Amino acid sequence: MNTQLQVPSKTDFLIIGAGVSGLYAAWRLLRQDKKRNITIIERLNRTGGRLDSDLVSIPDPYDPQSVLVKEEEGGMRFEHNMESLMALFNALRLCDDAVYFPMTTNRLAFRGHSFTAAESAEANNAIWGELYDLEPAEQNQSPGEILNVVYNRILKANGVATAPSAPTPEFWQRFRLDFKWEGVPLNQWQLGGLLRAMGYSEECITMITETSGFR
């Protein structure tokens, strides 16, 4: 691989970004034809994009020596049932050992309170009604459970009685473009506006948008 700084005037394929998707695209193109001339342009001085391995020095209050911790940043979890990803790992001769972490230990911090996902489910999800001024019908449900109710309400309004157990990409495309609420296609709704039209309180909308990261 040539790491020249000057971009060539001609190339068979120009890929912007040396993140995982860019590197994977280049790898697939070269697998088809090793003679292809591929140029990848990357602003950073490394590959990987949002994925990065780093060494972080953490002070030890009981030891003058700092602890050097290897940290993986930006990666999502992967599982053995992701067949395409596992096949890629094998083709690249990478380790394919999946380390499973209990999602219940994920830590949340909202409105001055910090708690784990497991703690948030205690007492029938009571904490959400304590942190947010929810209506009675909105209480004792996690934000995810409320979104699941929203999802099923939309399905029923569009003639789907039962949510598919394994929705396909084609289903999600139809859901986004063809399904409607109050006559408006879903891809034209903003999340807060949709929840408001469905009758949810402002505090509930705030809770869902803050916990989901979507607006």
CATH number of 105-212: 1.10.405
Higher pLDDT, residue 202 or 90:
202
Residue 70: the pLDDT is 83
- Going from N- to C-terminal start, the domains of the chain cover 1-49, 52-91, 105-212
The structure's pTM equals 0.64
Closest CA to 125 of 144, 103, 107: 144
**Count of alpha carbons within 13 Å of 2, Cβ hemisphere only?**
8
Q: Which amino acid is at 58?
A: I
Q: Is the pLDDT of residue 68 over 60?
A: yes
What is the rounded (10 degree) CA torsion for 159, 165, 166, 170?
0
How do residues 3-58 score in pLDDT, each as one tens digit? 556 788 899 999 999 999 999 999 999 999 999 999 999 998 889 888 888 888 88
**Strand pairing of 13-16 and 38-41?**
parallel
Backbone angles phi, psi at 75, to 5 degrees: -85, 150
Q: Is the pLDDT of residue 211 over 60?
A: yes
